[in-house]
Amino acid sequence: MRAIPRQKTRPAIFSYCSDPAILEGFQWLSCYLTTGKHMGFYLSFGTVLLLLAITAPLALAFGFFGASAARSRIAPLAIFGKGYIAIVRGVPDIAFFLFFVIALDQGIEWLRHKVKCSDWDEPIRQGNDFVVCQIAKMPLNDSPQWVHEAYGFSLAVLTFAIVFGAFAANVLFGAMRAVPRAQIETAEAYGMSPRQSFWRVLVPQMWVYALPGLSNLWMVLIKATPLLFLLGVEDIVYWARELGGSKTERFTDFPHGDWRMWYFLALLIFYLAFTKVSELVLARISRRLSKGQATLAGEAQRKEPGTAAEATT
């Protein structure tokens, strides 16, 4: 079992933190909340936000290409797109995450092994072990710690993008089919090619139909960020469990009981606040995209008094 590292004080922040054993009340709490581990806890919120900032557009790009491939007239491309969409059905999210992160990691090391160790005469699969030469490991054992952390985070981002890209592809494919066929036929009647009608008519209009599903997907993505803990990334769940567990004087300068409830309560408040802000932003985006569209939301906007007055002027 991995030993729990001793928690260090940070006297550079507060001078009175040099001897936590004599502190009480607010001073003890202020020193406790500014330890090195707590700084890691605070930075892990940035890790979650960075994951969302990178994964959301990347998953949307994967989803768009998957949906476009699914409606392609080229049979192999359509089969690939529909197969990619189909992986979202019937398999739990956690199975996707654990499979992809392991498959990607071993796949990268296997390719490096084939290139860098072509004279290797032992099997890579040795029972339950996956064995490659030392120079094929990714990252290398002697790499700095930040390289290992960046590599793990990159694998997590790519895994999230692949999995949620499949969900996004399913949503976008349905949105593309929801655009009235008459719109496409009218564009083609005016002389547009299939490519032009796709980019100038179908794509701009599909976002109105896709936004409700994408909004739900964004909420699911937010709620899935604690899975980073299972992928080996030190996220907010990892630190909440690490910091909240009971600590004795043997392992830390700040002994305390089981405080996990309070740490996870803080995470609960964070996620509730984040989802509320997301709901407000998505509602504004939906209202903006629905303006002038032949949808129920667009029709409701045209019937509003302010909108009607603007139309008459």
Domain-located, residue 123: no
By CB neighbour count within 10 A (0-12 exposed, 13-18 middle, 19+ buried), where does 32 fall? buried
**Tens-digit pLDDT profile for the chain (313 aa)?**
334 344 444 444 766 676 666 667 787 788 878 888 888 889 999 989 999 999 999 999 999 999 999 988 899 999 999 998 887 766 777 888 788 888 888 888 888 888 888 888 888 888 778 888 888 888 887 888 888 888 888 888 988 898 899 999 999 999 998 888 888 888 888 888 888 888 888 888 888 889 989 999 999 999 888 888 777 788 888 888 888 887 766 667 777 778 889 999 999 999 999 999 999 999 888 888 766 555 555 555 556 665 554 544 4
Domain-located, residue 17: no
Q: Angle at Cα 39 formed by Cα 38 and Cα 45, nearest 5°?
A: 95
Domain-located, residue 43: yes
Q: In the chain, what is the straight-line distance between the N-terminal and C-terminal CA atoms, in Å?
A: 74
What's the alpha-carbon Rg for the chain, to the nearest Å? 26
Domain-located, residue 11: no
Domain-located, residue 131: no
Q: What is the pLDDT of residue 222?
A: 92
For 128, list phi and psi in degrees, rounded to 5.
Answer: -90, 0
pTM, entire model? 0.77
For 303, list phi and psi in degrees, rounded to 5.
Answer: -85, -5
- Structurally, the chain folds into a number of domains equal to 1
Q: Cα torsion at 225, 227, 230, 235 (round to 10°)?
A: 20
Domain holding 87: CATH number?
Answer: 1.10.3720.10
C-beta separation of 104 from 155 below 8 A? yes
Best CA proximity match to 301, nearest among 236, 309, 229, 68:
309
C-beta separation of 180 from 206 below 8 A? no
Domain-located, residue 32: yes
Domain-located, residue 280: yes
Query: The domain containing residue 252 runs over which residues?
Result: 24-91+168-303
Domain-located, residue 102: no
